[in-house]
Amino acid sequence: MLFCASQVFSQTSEIARRHNFASSYFGLDAQVFPFTQQGFVLNDANEVNIYNRNGFVIPSINIGATHFWGYADFYITIGTTPISFRKDSIENSYQYGVITGLRVYPLAPQKYPIRPFLGYKFTPFRFQQVNTEGEVYNNTTVRSALEAGLGYQSASWYLYLSGNMILQPEEESWLSRTVVQPIQQPTYFFSLGANYRLETTRGAYSPSVRILDTLLRQQNAMGLFFGIGPSSAFPTANSSSIIESLPFLDDRAMPDLFPDISAGYHFSRQEWVVAAAFRPMRQTRTAYGFQQQVNRNSFALESYKFLFDYHGFAPFIGAGVMWDNMRLSETDNDVNITETVSSKLAPGLVFGWDIRPGKRADPWLLRTNLRYSPYASLEKDNATLSLQYLEFNFIQFVLYPQRLSYYRNL
């Protein structure tokens, strides 16, 4: 009797720990930049003029999940249009696309609902300026920031307030195609967020789930899946074509947000996946009447292995091949000067993790994919346009239709 009771208690405890391991949330955020630096622009006499830049706030959208029972927070923050406190004499903006970050809470959440945290985040900051002739200049620099603040977590809400320090805020700004000026971007800013926690694991521990989990550990069945989610890409290498011929262009320009669409089969007994993925990527560089656009449709065939399952956190790693169809277009003052199409096959790495409330029997789950292709590039005039991106698909919705049909037919 005591042995049976001990088994029931152990199973109940394991279910509770898997249930509480991760908690997704969705919310709003404000990044406040009260302290700004001076800006520089060329006047009609081609002389450098100084102007004052005012503070601003960037309203944003949060998507994330607390992990390890509330001790860690992995998230993305999607920026919208900055709102300036006052209008500057020269039109300019400083904003980010997608922040990727981690916060660590050293104190136990059960004892301290309001807790201090330390964090690290990185994002591509984009600086844009319009000169007196109406010409637009853009520059993107991936920057890191350290964070410290206070967070509040309850069953339904997750709130935080923090201060942030950007590391190495200096950069070079091209005031024309030939004049470059060192500038200082903001170093300090504040973050304020309010998020609603989502319950996505209800029903994940029912008897039918446990029965199917046992079956899928013994044989490969019901492994077909489809996935879709928003993804971003971080350039990781410089382009010799830009540096040597067009240095005033934004070398590290971020591709637009794009969908990551996948389909594959999960061999549940071996914890092995074979999948195909498609990602359409668009990268645009614009400055002083010159525009360069790279359209890249990337198809990947990949295989990866789940390493372990730690209370619902299941990391994986693998490799694959990527076939890229690429189109390069360039215009100079509205005159089309380049139009080329090419294809390339290159190896790639894939890694990430699943959040699995129901062990191996979830009808749907949330997956994080990261991809890197170290040899992806495009040749132009005996130089290279780098396409070496770190792709980051933070949250992909993955559906197992055969498992879903199994549960519906019970």
pLDDT tens-place values along the chain, 410 residues long: 444 434 433 444 555 555 567 788 999 999 999 988 899 999 988 899 999 999 999 999 999 988 888 899 999 999 999 999 999 999 999 998 889 999 999 987 777 789 999 999 999 999 999 998 899 999 999 899 999 999 998 888 999 999 999 999 999 999 999 999 999 999 999 999 999 988 665 555 678 888 899 999 999 999 999 999 999 898 889 999 999 999 999 998 989 889 999 999 999 999 999 999 999 999 999 999 999 999 999 999 999 999 999 878 899 999 999 999 999 999 999 999 999 999 999 999 999 999 888 788 999 999 999 999 999 998 888 889 999 999 998 889 999 999 999 999 87
Strands 56-67 and 23-33: antiparallel
Identify the DSSP state of 249.
Answer: S
Same fold, 22-197 and 207-408: yes
Q: What's the gap between Cα 32 and its chain centre?
A: 21
Asked whether the beta carbons of 369 and 260 are under 8 A apart, the reply is yes
**Any residues with CB less than 8 A from the CB of 64 and at least 6 apart, and which?**
24, 25, 73, 74, 75, 76, 195
Asked whether the beta carbons of 115 and 150 are under 8 A apart, the reply is yes
Rounded to two decimals, the pTM is 0.83
What is 261-283 written as a DSSP string?
EEEEEEETTTTEEEEEEEEEEEE
**Any residues with CB less than 8 A from the CB of 8 and at least 6 apart, and which?**
none
Where b means 16+ CB within 10 Å and e means fewer, 78-101 reads bbeebebeeebeeebbbbbbbbbb
Helix axes 207-218, 401-408, angle to 10 degrees: 140
**Any residues with CB less than 8 A from the CB of 6 and at least 6 apart, and which?**
none
Burial class, 270, CB count within 10 angstroms (exposed 0-12 / middle 13-18 / buried 19+): exposed
Query: What CA–CA distance (Å, rounded) separates 227 from 57?
Result: 34
Terminal CA-to-CA distance of the chain, rounded, Å? 32
Q: Please state the domain extents for the chain.
A: 22-197, 207-408
At the topology level, CATH places domain 207-408 in Porin (2.40.160)
Burial class, 122, CB count within 10 angstroms (exposed 0-12 / middle 13-18 / buried 19+): middle
Domain at 22-197, CATH class: mainly beta
| Residue 152 vs residues 21, 71, 75, 197, 409: alpha-carbon distances, Å | 17, 12, 16, 12, 42
